[in-house]
Amino acid sequence: MLSHKETDLSETDLQEMYRTMLLSRRLDERMWLLNRAGKLPFVISCQGQEATQVGAAFALDKDVDIINPYYRDLALVTHFGMTPEETMLSAFARGADVQSGGRQMPGHFSKKASNIMTQGSAVTTQIPHAVGASYVFKMNGEKRVSLATLGEGSTSQGDFHEGLNFAGVHKLPFICLIENNKYAISVPVHLQYGADKLSDRAVGYGMHGEQVDGNDPIAVYKVMKEARDRAVNGEGASLIEAMSIRLTPHSSDDDDKYREADELQKNKKDDCLESFKLYLLEEKIIDEAWLQTVEAEIKDTVNKATKAAEAAPYAAPEHTLKHVYEEVNNG
């Protein structure tokens, strides 16, 4: 793991990074349990990719930067301001869900107040949206960046090429972060792309490209911080490929039988949450007492969020058509 001394991260920053990773993991685990208990219809997981998401999130300025996440980005949106209760309201499809009022599947993140742009179900559509936001920032002379995240499978879609080509031509303050967990549902990387590195495609778009260890939140932070600095200084866009791990099946509807048992076992050993915890312990940034306290606090937070969301009412039936048809006030 990259030493934090090679960055501007403080010990408090590192503690908060771990806390965000742990909170996201415990929320994710709780949703899986609720799904298996028949209380939630669907879960799509962030487990194994928290290091990439938190490293990227801490490198941005959440007060001004815009994020365009993909469906696994629970840790990213949690740092940007999605609360545990809001996550659970979406999972339970309750009316108070800030993302869609309970109408959209979980993982369709959206919260305008937290600079989280809404996303659609068709993969990769967030790329042109994110590029469009960065074009506005450049035209207005704003020191802001727009981040889009996606899995490696989405790089095969046309929106990926169109968006990155436009960002490269106009030198936009845009960052594309590929969270490469090596499987697009069940399709492995050797059937997805022919390049050694997806980040090498940056050359064709006239932008900076770099691959990073996605299991190392400090390394991801460093690369993303440099990308943001280039963007706000007028040096254009970046394509960052973070090599990460998907610890779970694609979703709660997937049996994961296309992966060998030894691969799954190795992934567990390489769990970014465990490796980051070990680093922080070795560096004496945290201790066992701190860990126990944080675990207890997060358990209480997740319990309260779950109970509040489960008790919340569903939206009224007529809310189904909200924002679908024009609403005319004849009064």
**Residues 192, 330: Cα–Cα separation, whole Å:** 54
Active site includes 71?
no
Please list the alpha-helical segments (H only) found in 184-282.
202-205, 217-232, 261-269, 272-282
Residue 328 contacts residue 110 (beta carbons within 8 Å): no
Residue 248 contacts residue 82 (beta carbons within 8 Å): no
3-state secondary structure of 96: coil
**Residues 131, 103: Cα–Cα separation, whole Å:** 27
**Residues 77, 56: Cα–Cα separation, whole Å:** 11
Residue 64 contacts residue 144 (beta carbons within 8 Å): yes
Q: Among 250, 259, 279, 325, which one carries the catalytic annotation?
A: 250
Q: Among 258, 259, 279, 325, which one carries the catalytic annotation?
A: 258
Question: H or E element: which one contains 302?
Answer: helix 288-311
The DSSP line for 257-301 is: TTS-HHHHHHHHHT-HHHHHHHHHHHTTSS-HHHHHHHHHHHHHH
Active site includes 4?
no
Active site includes 246?
yes
Q: Among 25, 70, 246, 279, which one carries the catalytic annotation?
A: 246
Residues annotated as catalytic (active site), given as ranges: 246, 250, 258
